[in-house]
Structure 1
Amino acid sequence: METPSEELVKSIFAALERDTRVNLHRYPVKIEDEDGVLVLEGTVENIAAKRIVRNTAHRQAGHRPVLDRLRVEVAEPEGAGHLRDEVVNLLREEPVFKECGLYLREGGQLETLRVGRSDWGEQRIEIEVREGTVILAGQVLSLTHRRLAEVLAWWAAGCERVENLLHVVPPEQETDDELTDAIRLVLEKDPLVRPDALKVTVRDGVVTLEGGLASDDERLLAVQDVWYVPGVQDVVDRIAVSG
């Protein structure tokens, strides 16, 4: 007789098998129950697959906690130093974080990269890189800041996983409008996507993209950019390609 945990894991895999955006045969994932926590492990093909597996597990698990340890496949793994430097540069050069303090944690030591200067409250991001994983800790002023910091970490070459431990101070309630603003900001940051050609709508975390882009590559990039934004539950692609 199957235990409730075994039944739950089977139901998750059954739901994932029906989703053509996830290739479990080429990229198998492991789901285990560790003291009541569902743990997801393995390497998936892209950020969309990672989010879909996690969101599906959450929906099926109900109130049971889910720990996402999934990694995204990278074309060519980079050394820790290269990944660290790229994450640091992306955050340091981003205008949104120009008044944010930046710190690098290595070997148990915390190095100051830039002291924060803000009239709106303390902002600090601590960066740590371990075996392809970027860990972000500290505090920022808004959910949009928190989401953008994670997206920039994902955009660094060689990033396989991001642990976003940033706190929003003061706390901010998540809404579809705030998520829409964050998505639009991320699309504007990608030089390979024309955000003015896209209409973004969000309902209960489900994002619909409409409009027209010049190529299928640009369409796929836009969809991928949206999936990088934490909090997105699903993406409906209604983008027309004119090329």
Structure 2
Amino acid sequence: MKTDLQLKKEVLDELDWDPSLDAAAIGVEVNEGVVTLSGHLPSYAEKLAAERAAEKVSGVRGVVVNLEVRPASVPSDEAIANAARDALQWHVHLPPDAVKLRVEKGWITLAGEVEWGYQRKVAERTVSHLRGVTGVTNLIKMHARVAPADVVERIEAALRRHAEREARHISISMKDGTVTLSGHVGTRAERLAAVGAAWSAPGVGAVVDNLELG
């Protein structure tokens, strides 16, 4: 098992390895395997990238993000809203006009209704990387639809297609449109694959990720 000191060094190395990040602007502390990131970055996209970088390191049990977004140049809320609206309209996986948005001091709030759970994630990811965005709140809802009776089996089959060995260590349950994943995975990539498979299933409105790394 890695010590907190080892984890801190590896997280710092991973942050420094990512060309999209200014690692010098990020402070790292580790306590019993839980990493805390602090400091300020010029974009929300970099904040997300820093969190992903820390999660990639083997042995990290959790990540606390205390990073503040301070854009170097601050577009007006109107400019951000127009850019976000255009990005959503042009995205092939989002129905036209299905997603509404509001911007306040760079913070985007998404609302509306979509057919699939994965479309909620697509909308959030689309606006998260725009210049001047300081954060995103996703209030998009799904149209009420009954999940197929075999939805858990479908998710399990998708996981086996991705990585059969890892699928054996993941437990899946579903209630009222919410899928809960529990168990263990070896890497962050396996975790993302499991969560992605759950989001892609019909009738899924939320995914609770209780998977542990290691």
User: Structure 1-normalised TM-score?
Assistant: 0.41
Higher RCO (CA-CA < 8 Å; seq separation 6+): 2
User: Structure 2-normalised TM-score?
Assistant: 0.45
